[in-house]
């Protein structure tokens, strides 16, 4: 039976099905709920039951002082429920964490990119907002910063899109040394390339090469929260082979009523494109309605700077532009 859960004071809502805990259901819906150990020891997911009926499903060592409060990680909904609970409102409310994760899988998808899947311990999962990055490595592994390409709704499974960078020690390690079962330290998260959840404007997302990593995280998060009815995704790469998750983008376009995917090829080393033509011709957005959209752009510093300058020059308000400048993309 499906139960509806409403969180105060944000007003966010989600559904809980079967015996899933309130925390599991909320995270799966994309909410940035407060939590820690996820097994009833820390009390970070403490919530007040305003209305409705819940049931304790798992023993917990943390002492709850009254009948009106529960641990979301140890309770399920028996009816529609209203809870008062902590949610992160911005990146400043996401704690810095240190986690040692297991390499679940590594896939070299072309000559330039490896997809790395890390799995965290169940009791030490990574809290992050879509679009943020972490530091990977440590001990015997070289250290490097890389964006998380997966949705916070599945915080045990962290995905990364690692570019091949000759001379970069971490890149060399990923392509030549790392293997399934290895342990990798994860420190973070960091960065402010996150969705403005208060905005209901349509989204335009522009990625250059592995700048698609944080963009993918944003798309999946927006879909989980049903934040917008309209998204337009532009993926700029050297050629179609460098759009290594092209079929995923196509599946979004096929499944969603108002999702557009525009692949763009470039034969220049810095990814130069005619941004004004891209916006006005390929996206069909006239300069006089640019202010109706929010733009998110991830790629090399040079490309991101060029996109920013052009968009502002032709009329986009600067506050509706969110940038992720990752030089190694």
Give domain 2-84's CATH architecture: Roll (3.10)
Cis geometry, peptide bond prior to residue 9 (ω within 30 degrees of 0) = yes
The predicted pLDDT at position 267 comes to: 59
- The overall longest dimension of the chain from CA atoms, in Å, is 65
Q: What is the pLDDT of residues 19-35, one digit of tens each?
A: 899 999 999 998 999 99
pLDDT at 8 over 50: yes
- Name residue 158's beta-bridge partners: 118
Q: What is the pLDDT of residues 198-240, one digit of tens each?
A: 898 999 999 998 999 999 999 999 988 887 679 999 999 988 8
Kindly provide the b/e burial profile for residues 18-53, where b requires at least 16 CB atoms within 10 angstroms of the residue's own CB: eebbbbbbbbbbbbbbbbbbbbbebbbbbbebeebe
- Overall pTM surpassing 0.85 (yes/no): yes
- The hierarchical CATH code for the domain 92-190 is 2.40.30.10
Measured between alpha carbons, how far is 134 from 193 in angstroms, rounded to an integer?
12
The predicted pLDDT at position 137 comes to: 94
With a CB cutoff of 8 Å and minimum separation 6, the contacts of 272 are 266, 303, 306
Average of pLDDT values for 118-139? Answer: 94
Measured between alpha carbons, how far is 296 from 50 in angstroms, rounded to an integer?
37
User: Where in the chain do CATH 2.40.30.10 domains reside?
Assistant: 92-190
- Name residue 162's beta-bridge partners: 114
The predicted pLDDT at position 66 comes to: 87
How would residue 272 be classed by pLDDT, with cut points 50, 70 and 90?
Answer: low
State how far Cα 212 lies from the chain centre.
11
State how far Cα 225 lies from the chain centre.
12
Tokens describing residue 296:
């998110």
User: Where in the chain do CATH 3.40.50.80 domains reside?
Assistant: 203-325
Share of the chain above pLDDT 90, in %: 74
CA torsion sign for 212, 216, 218, 219 is positive
Q: Is 203-325 in CATH node 3.40.50.80?
A: yes
How would residue 271 be classed by pLDDT, with cut points 50, 70 and 90?
Answer: low
Measured between alpha carbons, how far is 251 from 89 in angstroms, rounded to an integer?
31
How would residue 146 be classed by pLDDT, with cut points 50, 70 and 90?
Answer: very high
Mutual angle of helices 246-255 and 212-225, in 10-degree steps: 20
Measured between alpha carbons, how far is 304 from 325 in angstroms, rounded to an integer?
6
Q: What is the 3-state secondary structure (H, E, C) of 276-287?
A: HHHHHHHCCCCH
Measured between alpha carbons, how far is 63 from 145 in angstroms, rounded to an integer?
38
User: Where in the chain do CATH 3.10.20.30 domains reside?
Assistant: 2-84
Measured between alpha carbons, how far is 212 from 235 in angstroms, rounded to an integer?
7
With a CB cutoff of 8 Å and minimum separation 6, the contacts of 156 are 119, 120, 122, 125
Length of the chain: 329
Measured between alpha carbons, how far is 245 from 237 in angstroms, rounded to an integer?
12
The predicted pLDDT at position 328 comes to: 45
With a CB cutoff of 8 Å and minimum separation 6, the contacts of 214 are 130, 131, 132, 133, 147, 148, 149, 193, 298, 324, 326
pLDDT at 60 over 70: yes
Q: How does the average pLDDT of the chain come out, rounded? A: 92
State how far Cα 127 lies from the chain centre.
11
Find, among 209, 101, 208, 206, the residue nearest to 163 by Cα: 209
């Amino acid at each position: 039976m499906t139960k509806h859960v409403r969180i105060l004071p944000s007003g966010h809502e989600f559904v809980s099905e079967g015996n899933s805990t309130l925390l599991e259901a909320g995270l799966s819906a994309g909410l940035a709920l407060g939590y820690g150990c996820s097994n009833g020891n820390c009390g970070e997911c403490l919530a007040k039951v305003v209305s409705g009926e819940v049931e304790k499903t798992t023993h917990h060592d943390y002492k709850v002082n009254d009948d009106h409060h529960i641990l979301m990680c140890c309770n399920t909904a028996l009816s529609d429920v209203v809870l008062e609970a902590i949610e992160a409102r911005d990146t400043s409310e996401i704690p810095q964490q240190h986690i040692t994760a297991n390499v679940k899988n590594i896939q070299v998808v072309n000559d330039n990119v490896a997809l790395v899947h890390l799995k965290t311990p169940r009791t030490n999962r990574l809290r992050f907002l879509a679009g943020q990055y972490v530091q990977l490595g440590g001990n015997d592994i070289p250290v490097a910063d890389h964006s998380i390409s997966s949705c916070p709704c599945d915080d045990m499974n962290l995905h990364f899109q690692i570019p091949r960078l000759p001379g970069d020690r971490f890149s060399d390690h990923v392509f030549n040394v790392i293997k399934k079962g290895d342990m990798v330290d994860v420190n973070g998260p960091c960065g402010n390339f996150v969705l403005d959840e208060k905005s209901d404007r349509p989204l335009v997302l522009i990625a250059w090469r592995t700048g698609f990593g944080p963009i993918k995280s944003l798309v999946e998060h927006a879909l989980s929260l049903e934040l917008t009815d309209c998204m337009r995704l532009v993926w700029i790469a050297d050629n179609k082979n460098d759009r290594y998750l092209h079929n995923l983008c196509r599946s979004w376009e096929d499944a969603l009523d108002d999702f557009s995917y525009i692949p763009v090829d470039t034969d220049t080393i810095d990814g130069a494109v005619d941004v004004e033509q891209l916006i006005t011709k390929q996206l069909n957005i006239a300069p006089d309605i640019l202010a109706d959209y929010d733009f998110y752009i991830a790629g090399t510093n040079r490309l991101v700077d060029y996109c920013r300058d052009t968009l502002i020059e032709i009329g986009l308000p600067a506050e509706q532009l969110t940038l992720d400048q990752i030089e190694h993309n």
